[in-house]
Structure 1
Amino acid sequence: MPELPEVETTLRGIESHLVGRSIANVDIRQPKLRWMITPELTTDIVGQEITRLSRRGKYIGIHTAKGTLIVHLGMSGSLYFVPADTPPLFHDHVDFCFTDDNVWLRYTDPRRFGAILWTTEDWREHELIRHLGPEPLSDLFNADMLYARAKGRKVPIKTFIMDSKVVVGVGNIYANEALFKAGIRPDRLAGKISKVRLARLVDCIKVVLAAAIKQGGTTLKDFVGGDGKPGYFKQELAVYGRADKPCIVCGEALKEIRQAQRSTVFCTKCQS
């Protein structure tokens, strides 16, 4: 599924083409996503000029003077531009059409686990967003904060850093990669890891996510960025998807286990 780097890549890909444009129409072919698209969206947003875009975790905020369009890509969603009047395919559920009518912003979602929501309040206080933890690339995510939250916790460290109330946007792919880079076993209990090692993990999470954003994300099955192009971080994956293959550091065969129904791959020699 699209993780934080993929969402950030999407935002960067569409932002410069959206800001300053006014919405002429919203063509909703399938309103039944993870949550039903409400009729208020079409009545409130038409005629509004897009003033800016922002991101909170895996949510994209498309802001107007009247309110904010909140978009979540779910398991398989994507936002990208198509020439106006491009016929939709089966999984192309929503088009945002603009007054200049040169291009449309199209939302595609084969599994329909994504969401398109509308709020006229502060979007950061939306019930899906207000309880989220700090952004991983911000100064709020640091060793002191992670150590304080990990103290006494008897959950595996991989599960812990994937909790969006602890820190947002560290999904399965990048949790695997950051833990490998930090040399920490994914099944180690969060509360048993020293502050020094957690500081190393914080640094590795930041490095891995920043590198993935620079590469345009990781292309796994359906994902493409806002410009319709795939991401290339998959070529740099050290452990994710490499079960039984040799570790790039020591040559030991990588081990795969299941944690919270997710694939976890690590090196039994390099990670402890």
Structure 2
Amino acid sequence: MPELPEVETTRRKIEPLLRGRVIERVIHDAPHRYRDTHLAEGRRVQGLSRRGKYLLLQLAAADAAEGDPHDLELIVHLGMTGGFRLEEGRHTRVTLTTDSGALHFDDPRRFGKMAVVRPGEYGGMPTLTAMGPEPLSDDFVESDFVKAAAGCGAVKPWLLSQKPVSGVGNIYADESLWLARIHPAQTRLEPAEARRLYQAVREVMGAAVEAGGSSLGDGLGNYRQHDGESGAFQHAHHAYGRGGQPCDRCGTTIEKIVLGQRGTHFCPQCQRLRSR
């Protein structure tokens, strides 16, 4: 599933194609999955932002000047396999036609979603409503994170909840915990552990954004950009997807377990589970 680095890379890549353009038509055949998208028609894209794993397109009247207040937002969640393409394909689910061309939303597994809402009215999107701070922003405060981590359950599912910090998914949770030397099932982090994890999340997410995210394998759901370019951070993975391979830090074999119904990779030597 695309996580914050992949979604942020998507935002950066498609913003020049959409910013300032008028959406003329939104074509799809699944109104239950792409809600109220007709309301975007005839509106100008004032900007593109991101919140966690969500893209937010700010929409204003077509005759509004850039910078004028917007009255609607088009919310996009890429799901497991969603992404934008320049050309229509066999897995195209939505086509955004603008006054300068078309952009196609491909989604082989059909878990992606869109909705047009009033700004900030995210009542039908509980994850977006309750999302924690952005990991690379000033709102992500170390002391707050340390305090919350002192009472957390198993730390990896806690990270994946999006409440302590937004945008961290399976890949970047494993990578952050490896860097911080914390077992993914550890509970009630000590202050020193929580501080290491705070710094690790910021470091991993920053590096992954700069690398354009992670592209894994060549299968149906392989993440890539609208121009076909893949991410590069997969070449820097130390834990995720490396079960059975030696740890880059100590040489111990990386193990894979299931935790919170998610495949989880860690080094049993570097990331020991201490007494809870």
Determine the C-alpha separation between the residues in 1 that align with 2:138 and 2:167. Answer: 15
The one-character-per-residue Cα deviations of 1:87-118 (angstroms, maximum 9, x if unpaired) are x3331011111123xx3111011111110100
Partner of 2:191: 195
Q: 2:244: which partner in 1?
A: 244
Q: Paired residue for 1:59?
A: 54
State which drifts further: 170-179 or 226-235: 226-235
On the 8 A contact 1:61/1:69 being kept in 2, the answer is: yes
Q: Which secondary structure does the structure 1 equivalent of 2:34 belong to?
A: coil
Query: Which runs of structure 2 are paired with 1:208-219 in the superposition (5 Å)?
Result: 208-219=204-215
How far does the alpha carbon of each residue in 1:221-240 deviate from its partner, in whole angstroms, 9 at most, with x for none?
42112433111111110111
Task: Answer yes or no: is 1:14 the counterpart of 2:14.
Answer: yes
1: CA distance, partners of 2:119 / 2:41 = 19
Tell me how many residue pairs correspond in the alignment. Answer: 256
Alpha-carbon distance in structure 1 between the residues aligned to 2:214 and 2:80: 14
Letter matched to residue 2 of structure 1: P
- 2:26 aligned counterpart, secondary structure: strand
Whichever residue aligns with residue 202 of structure 1, its letter is: Y
Map 1:134-149; keep pairs closer than 5 Å: 134-149=133-148
Q: 1:123 aligns with which of 120, 123, 126?
A: 120
TM-score, normalised with respect to structure 2: 0.88
Q: Distance in 1 between matches of 2:119 and 2:17?
A: 24
Q: CA RMSD in A?
A: 1.6
> Take 2:130 and 2:249, find their aligned partners in 1: how far apart are those partners?
38
Aligned to 1:182: 180
Aligned to 1:85: none
1:77 deviates by: 0.5
Q: Confirm whether residue 46 of structure 1 aligns to residue 45 of structure 2.
A: no
Task: Tell me what 1:31 maps to.
Answer: 30
| 1: CA distance, partners of 2:233 / 2:78 | 19
Match of residue 256 from structure 1: 256
**Aligned partners of 2:86 and 2:226 also within 8 Å:** yes
- Runs of 4+ in structure 1 deviating by more than 4 angstroms, as ranges, are none
Q: Which position in structure 1 is the counterpart of 2:85?
A: 80
Could you tell me which residue of structure 1 aligns to residue 67 of structure 2? none
State the identity %: 38
- Following superposition, the deviation at residue 125 of structure 1 comes to 4.3
Which runs of 5 or more residues in structure 2 are unaligned?
A: 61-70
TM (normalized to structure 1)? 0.89
